[in-house]
Each structure stands twice: as structure tokens, then as C-alpha cells.
């Protein structure tokens, strides 16, 4: 079982809709969870971090964490074409300090 | 302040040649990571430096790959006797806390 799994997509939503990106992880000891956005041909950019169960909102982005279900998600409200990118989920492991484990990413397309 | 910088941005080399890739982390960041990303693929962890501790080399794909970090700052990734399968984007990231990682723009390596 991979440490971090994401649906590869592509996920396609219309402009103004809510995009929902999901991620599951295998290590129950994980404490830190991150979402990165990667535009085509560019490097990953950190957009959200979450450490506690529940929701964390930042502008149009909401990260949701459920440690019991080992599930983390990213909601993008009022999606814009500029949100079209690959979104990477990253998770630490309690047994490996300082390392992050990345999912393969979900490709999101927002069409006007 | 300045972000993570990498050089060169592009490198084309011939099979069998050695290459050196450089990373300058964000000032004050004690953790430094190297990843590679092949076209359309996820991030592959290569190596991790944390302060003065021994590096975590568990991701290096072969003994042709090595990395060093001098003075706790600049890092160089060396690939000896390059092969065509080494062609990828090599990404460096740094972290102050050991969890949130910030990526440089990457070096695109092409082995002919």
C-alpha cells in the first residue's frame, strides 16, 4: 500500500463550481498534512497545511482532515480557470522525522 | 526574501558524462531535500539533509547519484556516468521546521 494515494483524475469542473480533491494515507502516526499546487512546467507551490482534525479555511481553499479515516481533502470554492493545475497531497510519517510523502497528484481542469 | 534557487535551469548532456546540480536553500532553513520528477510522474524522493545529521540517502536510485551539503547551506547533487533514464526535472526544497517544504524552480536534465 502506498503511503499517500490520490485519484489521478483528470477532474474537470466548470468555472464557479466547487472542486473537491481527495487524499488517503496509510500511517496512523502522521501528524502534518499539506496541499501543493503544481502548474504545468513549474515546481510545486505550498497552498495549505493542516495539522488538526476538522476544517481549515484560507480564502477560497478549505482543507479538511479526518485522522480516524486517514483522509484529507481540499475544497476549492468558486473555481477559476487559473486553478487548473495538478494538486499534490503530502503527508509526514511519525516514524520518519522531516520527510514528506507525496501522492502522485490530481489534475484539475476548470473550464470557463 | 529570496526563495530556493537552483542552477542551471536546464542542462543537456551526453550519455556517460557527469553532471552537477546546485541548490541554494532559503536562508536559515536547516533542512534540504532533493527530488526528481519525470514527465507526467509524481515526485521521487532522493535525499534529505537536516542540520549536521547524517543525510537520509534512502531514495538515491543508484551509486551513480551522490549529494553533499557544504556549511549547512548550499547543496550539490552529482550524477556520474549519466544515462538516458536520468532525464527528469530535479527539484530542491528547503524547510525551516522540517515539515513545510518550499521548492526551487528545478533543473531540467536531458541526457542524449
Confidence at residue B62, expressed as pLDDT on a 0 to 100 scale: 95
- Reading the block at residue B6, the C-alpha cell is 537552483
Helix (H, G, I), strand (E, B) or coil at B55: coil
Q: Looking at CA atoms only, how far is residue A69 from chain B in angstroms?
A: 22
Q: How far apart are CA A77 and CA A63, in angstroms?
A: 11
Q: Is B80 exposed, middle or buried (0-12, 13-18, 19+ CB in 10 A)?
A: middle
Instruction: Of A21, A22, A35, give the one whose Cα is nearest residue A100.
Output: A35
If pLDDT is split at 50, 70 and 90, which confidence band does A2 have?
A: confident
Nearest CA to B95 out of B35, B8, B10, B7 is that of: B35
More confident residue, A29 or A83: A83
Cβ proximity of A4 and A103 under 8 Å: yes
Return the DSSP state at A21: E
- pLDDT exceeds cutoff 70 at A47: yes
Residue B52, pLDDT > 90, answer no
Per-residue confidence (pLDDT) for residue A46, from 0 to 100: 95
DSSP-based three-state secondary structure for A18: coil
Q: A98 to chain B, minimum CA–CA distance in Å?
A: 5
Residue B13: pLDDT band with limits 50, 70, 90: very high
A13, exposed or middle or buried, with CB in 10 Å at 0-12, 13-18, 19+?
A: middle
Which residue among A32, A90, A98 places its CB closest to the CB of B50?
A98
Q: Do A102 and B43 touch (CB under 8 A)?
A: yes
Task: Identify the band that residue B1 occupies on the pLDDT scale cut at 50, 70 and 90.
Answer: low
Contact residues, chain B, for A97 at CB < 8 Å: 50, 98
Distance CA B63, CA B52 (A): 22
Cross-chain Cβ contact B100/A46 below 8 Å = yes
Q: Which three cell numbers stand for residue A55?
A: 476544517
Q: Rounded to whole angstroms, how far apart are CA atoms B21 and B11?
A: 9
Q: What angle do CA B49, B50, B54 make, to 5 degrees?
A: 70
pLDDT at res. B11 = 98
Rounded Cα gap, residues A104 and B89, in angstroms:
15
Is pLDDT of A1 > 70? no
d(CA B104, nearest CA chain A) in Å: 7
SS3 for B34?
strand
| Residue A70 CB neighbour total at 10 angstroms | 15
Q: What angle do CA B56, B57, B60 make, to 5 degrees?
A: 150
Which residue on chain A is closest to B6 by alpha carbon?
A: A43
Residue with the bigger pLDDT between B23 and B2: it is B23
Q: Which three cell numbers stand for residue B44?
A: 521521487
Amino acid at each position: 500500500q502506498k503511503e499517500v494515494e490520490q485519484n489521478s483524475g483528470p477532474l474537470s469542473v466548470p468555472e464557479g463550481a466547487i472542486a473537491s480533491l481527495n487524499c488517503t494515507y496509510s500511517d496512523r502516526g502522521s501528524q502534518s498534512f499539506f496541499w501543493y499546487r503544481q502548474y504545468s512546467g513549474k515546481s510545486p507551490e505550498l497552498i495549505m497545511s493542516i495539522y488538526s482534525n476538522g476544517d481549515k479555511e484560507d480564502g477560497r481553499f478549505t482543507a479538511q482532515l479526518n485522522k480516524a479515516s486517514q483522509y484529507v481533502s481540499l475544497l476549492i470554492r468558486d473555481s477559476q480557470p487559473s486553478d487548473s493545475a495538478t494538486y499534490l497531497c503530502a503527508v509526514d510519517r511519525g516514524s520518519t522525522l522531516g520527510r514528506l510523502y507525496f501522492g502522485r497528484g490530481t489534475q484539475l481542469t476548470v473550464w470557463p | 526574501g529570496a526563495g530556493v534557487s537552483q542552477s542551471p535551469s536546464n542542462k543537456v548532456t551526453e550519455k556517460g558524462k557527469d553532471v552537477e546540480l546546485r541548490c541554494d536553500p532559503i536562508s536559515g532553513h536547516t533542512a534540504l531535500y532533493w527530488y526528481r520528477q519525470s514527465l507526467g510522474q509524481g515526485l521521487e524522493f532522493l535525499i534529505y539533509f537536516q542540520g549536521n545529521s547524517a543525510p537520509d540517502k534512502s531514495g538515491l536510485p543508484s551509486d551513480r547519484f551522490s549529494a553533499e551539503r557544504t556549511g549547512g547551506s548550499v547543496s550539490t547533487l552529482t550524477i556520474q556516468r549519466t544515462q538516458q533514464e536520468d532525464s527528469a526535472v530535479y527539484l530542491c526544497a528547503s524547510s525551516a521546521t522540517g515539515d513545510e517544504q518550499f521548492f526551487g524552480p528545478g533543473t531540467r536534465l536531458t541526457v542524449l
